[in-house]
Amino acid sequence: MRRHLALFTVALILPILLLLGMVLWRFAMAEQNRFEREASDLASAIAVGLDRELTGIFASLEVLSTSAHLPTRDFEAFHRQASILLERQGIVAVLADLDGQQLMNVRLPWGASLPRSNIALDRTALDRGRPFVTDLIVGQITGTRQILAVTGVRIDGKLTYLLFFSVPLDQLRQVLTDAGIAGAYTASLIDRRGLILARSRDADALVGQTAKEDMRENARDAQGTWDGTAADGRSIFGAYARSRLSDFVAAVEVGYADLRAPLWRSLSVFALLGAAIAALSTWLAMYVGRQITRPIAALARTAAALGRGEPVTPLATGLAEANEVGRVLVGASSNLRDREADLVEANQEIQRFAYIVSHDLRSPLVNIMGFTTELEALRGDLFTRLDELKEAAGVAENAARDEELGQDFDEAIGFIKASISKMDRLINAILRLSREGRRDFTPERIDMDALGDGIKRSLAIQADEADATVTINRLPSIVSDRVAIEQVFSNLIDNALKYLRNGVPGRIEIVGKARGATLVFEVRDNGRGIDARDADRVFDLFRRSGVQDRPGEGIGLAHVRALVRRLGGTITLTSTPGQGSTFTVTLPRRWTQTEYKRVA
């Protein structure tokens, strides 16, 4: 018993543990996916932020390149103009000729000796008149690491000068800060040569260094992800996005230890909860087992005594159910011998009852035959009596015979009326079918949804009594005879309500769909079902299928088929005994008198 209780307890807690484990696993995976999505989103945000920053720089660069002092080569005046820009916006401007010789540098006073710039120029961008940025360089005057924003200055349509803006790396670091890098993420900006321009962590040690090879090898597309190793040897997941204006790479990395932290936390919680539940369940199984096995053992001893015919006494255990069974056994013991005596008498009663039932079942047939014979005899007596009346009318003896004869006729006629009553019901049903067959149909547009709801309301009481639910799905409209259509579906639903299975909540459903020029309706139920051998015969007049425990004369389905045929359609049945039936009614989308004459 205890072993079974333990197995039962395991069977109960195992689904709970599995569900808990699945929930925790999904949570951990969702957290890991969130980290990965956030890394990709941060990389894209950094790339967009860098493009936004460069867009502002390029705009200022383009504005200054249109200075009126450049066509006149008034570089001193241009120096004063660029110095104002330095004071107001902190932008360091440099003007050089096409050979790189600086002509003006706001970092130095006007007239100071200027060096020749030795930077790689994007000739394609210059030829197309577009600004661009350089990779990481070291300033010739300040000796600081920076990048340059460069544009060409055209005089009379000819490329004449080069205008530079110095962009300090602190300005790029601010792009990372504005992106909101926090938590386990590390972000970097990397130039086209793979040099680190800015970094959210360890910037002093790594800015200016070459990025890890695995990142450089994988970051070839506009955006994507990679798996690699960080500078400190940690395994990382990385996401990157390229700047549209500079082709720099914005990279965001997160350690796999951080990605998997939610999983390990979930596993730890699962292990602790699983151990606690297992321990509690084991203790409960042992405790409950002891509370159940002792009363059951006592109950087994009582049952064994009863089997041996020995007297038994009530149980007094801590299990109320066992005590109740014990009381029942005590009662059974006291009644056992009385029942043995009753069995002999009951067997004799069953024999007598079987004889009476068989006799009474044959009585209706005997009565019909007997009364038919008596009526024939009464007919002879009547004519004999008439002859006697001709000879001697008014004799008292004959009057008594007349009274007796009248009683016999009344009794016989009473039995005849009973049969006539049944025949009358059948005849009335046939007459209804006949009248329906002679009625003129009038086609009109019918909203089948409204008609179905009306039928459902009219049969609501029957549905409640049968514990059934009637569902009318969205039905297509039809042009047909309203009365006939209502009779068809009312009969089918009523028939389904009659033949539901006992103890099973009924489900009746009507669905419909268009199929070319016809409409197909299905009335489905989960009732008793109809045997395949009766599938066609149920539509015959006075034919009924299965157990005849419901009122009816076998008229309804015959009436339905007659109406469907008059409407130019067909009705078929598919059914599985014990599972339900489906009546399929196929009707023309638009019924006309011509259609009726064709069917007729």
According to DSSP, residue 176 is labeled H
Strand partners, 471: 509
User: Radius of gyration (Cα) for the chain, nearest Å?
Assistant: 51
Q: What are the tens digits of pLDDT across the range 8-34?
A: 666 666 676 676 567 655 655 666 677
Distance CA 136, CA 120 (A): 11
- Please state, in angstroms and as integers, the Cα–Cα distance from residue 310 to each residue in 304, 321, 323, 331, 337, following that order: 9, 22, 19, 13, 12
The SS3 of residue 120 is coil
Alpha helices in 308-319 (DSSP H): none
Distance between terminal CA atoms of the chain?
75
Which residue has better confidence, 463 or 333?
463
Distance CA 35, CA 182 (A): 12
Sheet containing 506-515: order of strands: 468-472, 506-515, 518-525, 580-588, 570-576
- Tokens representing 282? 């084991």
Answer whether residue 537 shows pLDDT above 70: yes
Q: What percentage of the chain carries pLDDT values higher than 70?
A: 65
Answer whether residue 48 shows pLDDT above 90: yes
Q: What are the tens digits of pLDDT across the range 470-501?
A: 999 999 999 999 999 999 999 999 988 888 88
pTM above 0.85, yes or no: no
Distance of CA 594 to the CA centre of its chain: 47
Supply the mean pLDDT for the chain. 78
Best CA proximity match to 218, nearest among 209, 208, 228:
228
Residue type, 105: N
Task: Taking residues 315-327, report their average pLDDT.
Answer: 69
Q: What are the tens digits of pLDDT across the range 149-193?
A: 999 999 988 999 999 999 999 999 999 999 888 778 889 999 999
Answer whether residue 391 shows pLDDT above 50: yes
- Tokens representing 497? 């309500």
> Minimum mean pLDDT among 59-68, 93-102, 121-130, 396-405: which range?
396-405
Write the CB contacts of 426 (distance below 8 Å, at least 6 apart in sequence): 542, 553
Q: What are the tens digits of pLDDT across the range 97-147?
A: 998 899 999 999 998 999 988 888 888 888 888 999 999 999 888 888 999
| pLDDT confidence bin for 36, thresholds 50/70/90 | confident
Answer whether residue 397 shows pLDDT above 60: no
